[in-house]
Amino acid sequence: MSKILFSDLDGTLLCDDKTISETNRQAIQKMLDAGHYFVICTGRAIESGRNVATDLGLNQPGCFMICYNGAIVYDLSADKIIDEHSIPVEDVFKLFDCAKKAGIHVQTYQGNDIIALEHTRDLDLYAEKSGMSYSIKNDIVSALSKEPRKVLLADFDNTGKLEQFRDDNEEWTNQHMNSFFSCKEYLEYCPKNITKGSGIKVLCNFLNIPLKDSVAVGDERNDIPMLLTAGCGIAMANAYDDVLVIADSVTENDNNNDAIAEVIENYIFNDVKIGANA
């Protein structure tokens, strides 16, 4: 029976230098050749995630992607969207307005571009890390041709502004959106009730795979919903403390030492008992 592995990208599948080890690459190919499925799960935009998948050779049959933290479920081989969700524009406008007043960099996405109102150091650092291009617009209203899938606030100086912003705006944002930290520098807002976990349900249903036959692995707080949703949720050895607490198991190796190959061998091919390493 086919199984499906959902893997976070940064800090999980990718090493710190944004490469993938040959051992991990071979392990993924082995599971694909055996008829299993491999899914990249990322908060990144679809264009950024697709570029990484192509570079890794993960655009072959059996490869899928959940991006924008669940707002898009994507068939990498067929190059088509399976499921998508967006944030109402009025909520996007309000987020931009509140972030600007708080002195925090804020951006969203249209097509292949990051959309921002100002050119900031945070924007440059994000663009460098994601490999995406950006456009600076005079106002967010005219910049959007359709509802975005995500809004991101960034603070690479870790001043505490993001935590304060989330607390100050929690009452109204919780009514309309999901919010979470994908890392300490990024506070992300996505469509209501949409997470990497909801993406797992969509894709398992699409492929007719029972949730009990799904495995998810990740390291950050935005990975928690998918670890709780999958039949087996595995935290990376290098995972954030909140992730370690909720996981069924923890890898022995970290993202720089072939942890994905470890997960594939133990949980896709050998059915290691859940919780054996926890």
- For the chain, list the domains and their CATH numbers: 4-85+195-269 (3.40.50.1000), 89-191 (3.30.1240.10)
Mean pLDDT (whole number) for 260-278: 76
Q: pTM for the complete prediction? A: 0.90
pLDDT at res. 275: 40
Assigned token pair, 217: 């692995």
> Rounded to whole angstroms, how far apart are CA atoms 146 and 47?
16
Highest mean pLDDT among 107-111, 135-139, 197-201: 197-201
From the CB of residue 228, how many other CB atoms can be counted at a distance below 10 Å? 16
pLDDT at res. 272: 67
> Rounded to whole angstroms, how far apart are CA atoms 259 and 13?
8
pLDDT tens, residue by residue, 12-42:
999 999 899 999 999 999 999 999 999 999 9
> Residue 257 contacts by C-beta under 8 Å, 6 or more apart in sequence?
none
> Rounded to whole angstroms, how far apart are CA atoms 276 and 124?
42
Distance from the Cα of residue 103 to its chain's centroid: 26
From the CB of residue 275, how many other CB atoms can be counted at a distance below 10 Å? 11
Q: Which residue has the higher pLDDT, 23 or 272?
A: 23
Residue 202: phi and psi, rounded to 5, are -60, -45
DSSP codes of every residue in 31-81: HHHTT-EEEEE-SS-HHHHHHHHHHTT--STTEEEEEGGGTEEEETTTTEE
**Cβ–Cβ < 8 Å for 138, 132:** no
| Beta strands 232-235; 105-110: pairing state | unpaired
Element (DSSP H or E) covering residue 151: strand 151-154
pLDDT tens, residue by residue, 94-124:
999 999 999 999 999 988 799 999 999 999 9
pLDDT at 224 over 90: yes
Assigned token pair, 163: 């935590």
pLDDT at res. 273: 55
pLDDT at res. 20: 93
pLDDT at res. 55: 87
Question: Using only C-alpha atoms, what is the Rg of the chain?
Answer: 18
Q: What percent of the chain has pLDDT over 70?
A: 97
Assigned token pair, 250: 């923890």
3-state SS, residue 238: coil
| Beta strands 80-84; 72-75: pairing state | antiparallel
**Cβ–Cβ < 8 Å for 206, 82:** yes
pLDDT tens, residue by residue, 47-66:
889 988 998 899 999 999 99
pLDDT tens, residue by residue, 147-166:
999 999 999 998 999 999 99
Label residue 72 by pLDDT band (50, 70, 90): very high
